[in-house]
Amino acid sequence: MEESCSKQESKVADVTPKKWSPRDASSYALRKRSPSPSSRSDTNPLATKKQKTSPRDLAINEPLVSPPPPRKSLRRSVGKTRKSLPPVHQSNAELSKAINLELPECERFSELLRSCFQFSVQKLEESLNNADGFDAKCFDTKVALVTQKIKRFTERLSRDGTLKKCTEQDDSLTSNPETEALKDKIRECTLKFANESHTWEKLLRITKIKQKTCPEI
């Protein structure tokens, strides 16, 4: 009986909490507040920041890329690169001279028709450049369409023999003196009109130069 009572008293003594002194309480509080060195290094934000922005990571994951060049405005670049039609000939007298003489007469005639159209378009564009409301893009589009039509038209005339008939020389006309005199007269008038046209074109160029150089009154 006494032994059982002593065992129960020892168990109660083991379960009873130990009384702490003020010194033990303060040391326990300090240990609880200050983290261990291992946990301190794991939760340090500076360490994680250094790991994210290390030079090695920047060199591997974020290569330096040169900035792209500034993009040009499409509208301005198109406006700057747009050019008028290239000059075909300075005068109408040069149209036939520019065509190859080794070509057959019917082909030379076909080339002459197309050259005359290009020459007329060039003169028309020069006169419309200073006009109000002139749309160069629309003008070029219409010129391209008409050029294709003229090309198909001359090809059709060449296939059906019309151009060949126009350029062939009739032997019956060469024996007639009146016809020869008429031909000479036509050549003389053609040369006269060509020289007169050249003179007017020269005068027109001089007038345009004077208008640009002289101040407005």
Tens of pLDDT, residues 12-59: 444 444 555 556 555 655 565 555 554 444 445 444 444 455 555 544
The Cβ-side half-sphere exposure at 44, using a 13 Å CA radius, reads 12
Of the candidates 34, 32, 16, the one whose C-alpha atom is nearest the C-alpha of residue 24 is 32
Domain shared by 104 and 152, yes or no: yes
Instruction: Write out the H or E segment, with its range, that includes residue 38.
Output: helix 37-42
Task: Decide if 22 is inside a domain.
Answer: no
Instruction: Provide the domain count of the chain.
Output: 2
pLDDT digits (tens, 9 = 90+) for 147-189: 999 899 888 988 888 888 887 766 655 567 887 888 888 889 8
Rg (CA), the chain: 51
Which pTM value belongs to this model? 0.39
Parent domain of 141:
89-169
Residue 36 included in any domain = no
Q: What is the mean pLDDT of residues 127-143?
A: 87
Is residue 112 within 8 A of residue 96, CB to CB? The reply is yes
Which amino acid appears at position 132 of this protein?
D
94 and 129 together in one domain: yes
- Highest mean predicted confidence (pLDDT) among 136-140, 176-180, 211-215: 136-140
Output the pLDDT for position 148: 92
Residue 105 lies in a domain: yes
Q: Residue 75: what pLDDT?
A: 42
Q: Assess whether 94 and 155 both reside in one domain.
A: yes
Instruction: Give a yes or no: residue 41 inside a domain.
Output: no
